[in-house]
Chains A and B, each alone.
Chain A
Amino acid sequence: MENFAPLTGLIGGILIGISISILLFFNGRITGISGIMSALLSPKDGEWLWRFIYLCSMIVGVIAYSQIAPPTFAPSSSYPKLLLIIGGILVGFGTRLGNGCTSGHGICGISRRSSRSFVATSVFMLAGAITVLVIRHVAHLTS
């Protein structure tokens, strides 16, 4: 349990919750990042710009925060690239097939009490945990 940071974890989560609430209250939109991201690849009438602005603002938020409080973790460039590429493709394919990711299903869906999102969130959490178990403790691909 080294590096356990419940307070910043909680505050970060509250900020994410506030951000999601703002988008719903003002614009009537669900914050589903995989949906926002993938829609950028198939531009539709007037739906493209807000998604682009959203993602850019998110990146700007990260840059702004890193100026105030430089990240305490080092980006690990040593992580196996093949894992990153295959895993990334699975994230993209899976979130489209399952219609959502951590934000859309895990937060927005559960907050709407959607049974689909409860199921999806349980499944991807479990699959994630099993995958880390296999990679770290069975196959010893990473430490």
Chain B
Amino acid sequence: MKQLFITAIAGFIFGIGLSVSQMIDPNRVLNFLDVTGNWDPTLLFTMAGALLVTLFSFRIILKTSKPLLANKFRLPSRSDIDYKLITGAALFGVGWGMTGYCPGPAVASLGLGSINSIIIVLSIASGFLLHKWFFKD
């Protein structure tokens, strides 16, 4: 129960962060990726702001033996760089550049109630299902 409360707090703050930084505006994202055009570096500051906190906090948090409300930290364990990682990241990047939406801002922007948000979330979900069907996992 406490964990779910924390989950809600974390999600809420994440939504506020996406709003304040305007990362939920796909044009802001596309202008950030448009390095050869009229480049808008705002989201570079967003990434830096987030990393400023997490580079520091992860170091401290992961030194503790376990999280405050759970038995253990659930961290990805893989360290191999394979074709799936590269291909997946490349396909994601192309989709990101086509739409201006990555998964977080796509879901969050449902709160602004535009038709595009609904289209993008359904399309991303279709991509998940396509992957599931393709790799049968």
Interface residues of chain A, those whose CB is within 8 Å of chain B, are 1-31, 33-34, 37-38, 41-42, 49-50, 53-66, 69, 71-73, 75-77, 79, 81, 83-99, 101-103, 105-112, 114-116, 119-121, 123-133, 135-137, 142
Contact = CB atoms under 8 A, between A and B. Distances in A.
Given A14-B52, A26-B67, A123-B89, A90 B58 contact: no
Contacts, number: 486
B78 interface: yes
A94 B93 contact: yes
A56 to B, nearest CB: 7
Contacts of B27: 73, 76
A94 B19 contact: no
B99 to A, nearest CB: 4
A114 B76 contact: yes
Main secondary structure of the interface of B (DSSP, over half): helix
Interface residues of B, number: 116
Interface of B: 2-4, 6-28, 30-31, 33-55, 57-58, 61-62, 66-76, 78-81, 84-99, 101-104, 106-112, 114-117, 119-132, 134
Given A58-B18, A127-B90, A133-B35, 9 more contacts: A12-B49, A14-B17, A22-B6, A41-B132, A66-B111, A84-B98, A89-B127, A114-B76, A129-B34
